[in-house]
Structure 1
Amino acid sequence: MDAHNMAQTGNLRQLRDHLEETLLRALRAPGGRTPATITLSARPAAEAAGQAGLKERCQERDGHRCVISGIWDPAHRPEDDIMFGSLNAAHIIPFALGSFSNEVERQQINAIWGAIYRYFPSIRSRLQLEIADVNREENILTLYRPLHELFGAFHIVLEKTETRDRYHLKTFGTISGVLAPHLPRDGIVTLRSHDGRYPLPDPSLLALHAAIGNILHATGSAERIEKILRDFEGASGGLAPDGSTDIGSLLSMRLLSLD
């Protein structure tokens, strides 16, 4: 409906820019960065304990294995299984969108959540997920750390099939030859609960993630946002000498940083 209305008034580009600002950049910027690069000891003790507890609960639910690759957590692997590595609790809606520390951040994050509710209404109406709920088990996948980074960057998504909790793994671009052998050969990922106390990742959240991934790569936004992120990560010493740095977008990314 929004696209139709904007097309009638000649403002379709404005809608694209709005979606890129409130959803695409916002969800891509901190994606894949939690908890892999969060130093829990630097946060309040209660929050650190909560994050550690969340990771353990989700690992118990997922059988202490990456839900995509089947790679084991080192502490729980069978003795004769050599496929093990560091596992992360990977947020579908990024961890960074679960809190704010000042009024500017509050307004920014409220705008992002407003767009999520508008374009993915079941997240509020059925799942009733709100800002403070990003650490619910429904918003978490157990992933091998390199796959977490790809998932957070929307280079891999899980698209629903006709069977609940069964997904088609879709990749964008070239996946490292080191990781490719660990992906399911049939392209199917089935989520199974090994501990019924904790709910599986919610289909509506994975649908949001898949939709954002497809839009990012279909519209060329992925490349633009990657450039903005590179500018952000390298901005400590100044701006690009050729004048290509997107200052406004850089500031927007800064508001979404975790540190």
Structure 2
Amino acid sequence: MRSPAGYGDGDSVVFEVGRQYRDHLIRRFRTSTEPYLYLSPSPHPSPPSYDKLEDMTRDLMKPSGKDYRTTRKKALARDGFRCMIIGYFDKTSLKYSAELQRMEETLGGIPVHVQTSHILNESTTQGVGMGEESSTHYTAGVMAILRQFGLEHLSLALETVDGVHQIWNLLSLQFDLHSDLGRLNLWFESTGEPNRYKVCVSNARIEQHIRRISTQFRSDLQGAPPPDPQLLALHATCARVAHMSGATEFFDRLEWEVEETNVLAPDGSSAHLLSSLMSPYAYIHGVA
């Protein structure tokens, strides 16, 4: 999205609206950092070996907490300890289940690192639980937009402490696919059949190999619903808009500049960088 300099007042308004959607919505589906690399869930502090997969699943579903450490275990159990797209089994989970090992030998494939991915990223509820003012400034933008789209029930759930870790906001994906989802290079489009989606990617070469792939998100476990279809639809919309508008290139360039910039330039030439970094945390007046 380019600067509105040189445009008329109407164009400036359109630019400003676009900027707010870019920073307060699209950016909330895009994850630039991955703090949980290679931290696949383990069933127990000293994980036992399970002969029956049912026993392992039951143990993982017992905790009632809603923190990330708890819900990521439930999400992986919900998804059969496999990547939801390619179906390969999680390396760590295979270590603790003899039945999973037998299934992996029968079905074939390659054991992979399966990551628990957020559809709407973790920064969405940054500040929740830190007091009303902090919470409002960090969450008001995206929550206001969710309400505008008629998703007030989702905004209310996400605004609670650890609300972003709701299991319906989590996907189990192989590491590279986890990264692609977070960078809006992968998304899911509804096929019209409940919980079945077409897998879409931005890379044309990769799309040639997976363009016919569809995946079905299902769950037979109580308390572990599949990924929310409305969030997936909004994520898909953001991904397409981000690529059509050039927002993905903007975010990639911004992250590169952040990586390369140690201090702000004294002549003010890096003011745009500071403004871009601060923009997502600005309060949107009139829509909260």
TM-score normalized with structure 1 length: 0.76
Structure 2 partner of 1:211? 237
Which SS does the other structure have where 1:247 is aligned? helix
Deviation at 1:95, TM superposition (A): 1.6
* Structure 1 residues 3-55: Cα deviation after superposition (integer angstroms, max 9, x where no partner): xxxxx955322221221122123432x356353389x9xxxxx9x99322211
Whether the 8 Å CA contact 1:231–1:250 is kept in 2: the answer is no
Distance 1:247 1:105, change over 3 A: farther
Counterparts of 1:93 and 1:117 in 2: how far apart (Å)?
A: 15
The question of whether the paired residues in 2 share the 8 Å contact of 1:68 and 1:184 is answered with no
| Matched pairs, number | 235
In structure 1, the partner of 2:79 is 62
Partner amino acid, structure 1, of 2:14: L
What does residue range 168-183 of structure 1 map to in structure 2 within 5 Å? 168-173=198-203
The corresponding residue for 1:52 is 69
CA distance in 2, matches of 1:22, 1:171: 23
- Correspondence for 1:22 among 15, 21, 24: 24
Q: Secondary structure at the match of 1:163?
A: coil
- Structure-2 separation of matches of 1:32 and 1:202: 23
Letter matched to residue 18 of structure 1: Q
Q: Over the residues paired in the alignment, what is the CA RMSD in angstroms?
A: 3.5
1:148 to 175, 178, 181: 178
Q: Cα distance, 1:168 vs. partner?
A: 0.9
Once the two structures are superposed, the pairs formed by residues 65-214 of structure 1 within 5 Å of their partners are: 65-74=82-91, 75-76=93-94, 77-79=100-102, 80=105, 81-100=108-127, 101=130, 103=133, 106-118=136-148, 120-121=149-150, 123-125=151-153, 128-132=156-160, 133-173=163-203, 184=210, 186-214=212-240
Q: Quote the Cα distance in structure 1 between the aligned partners of 2:259 and 2:134.
A: 21
Write the deviation string for residues 222-258 of structure 1: whole angstroms up to 9, x where unpaired. 111211122223333556x994653300233689xxx
Q: Distance in 2 between matches of 1:185 and 1:24?
A: 24
Alpha-carbon distance, 1:208 to partner: 1.1
Match of 2:187, SS state, is: strand
Whether the 8 Å CA contact 1:85–1:144 is kept in 2: the answer is yes
In 2, Cα distance between equivalents of 1:253 and 1:234 = 21
Residue aligning to 1:4:
none
Q: Which residue matches 1:43?
A: none
**Is the CA contact (8 Å cut-off) linking 1:232 and 1:254 kept in structure 2?**
no
Larger-Rg structure: 2
Q: Could you list the runs of 5+ residues in structure 2 that have no partner in the other structure?
A: 1-8, 42-62, 95-99, 283-288
Identity of aligned residues (%): 20
CA contact (8 A) 1:138 1:199 kept: yes
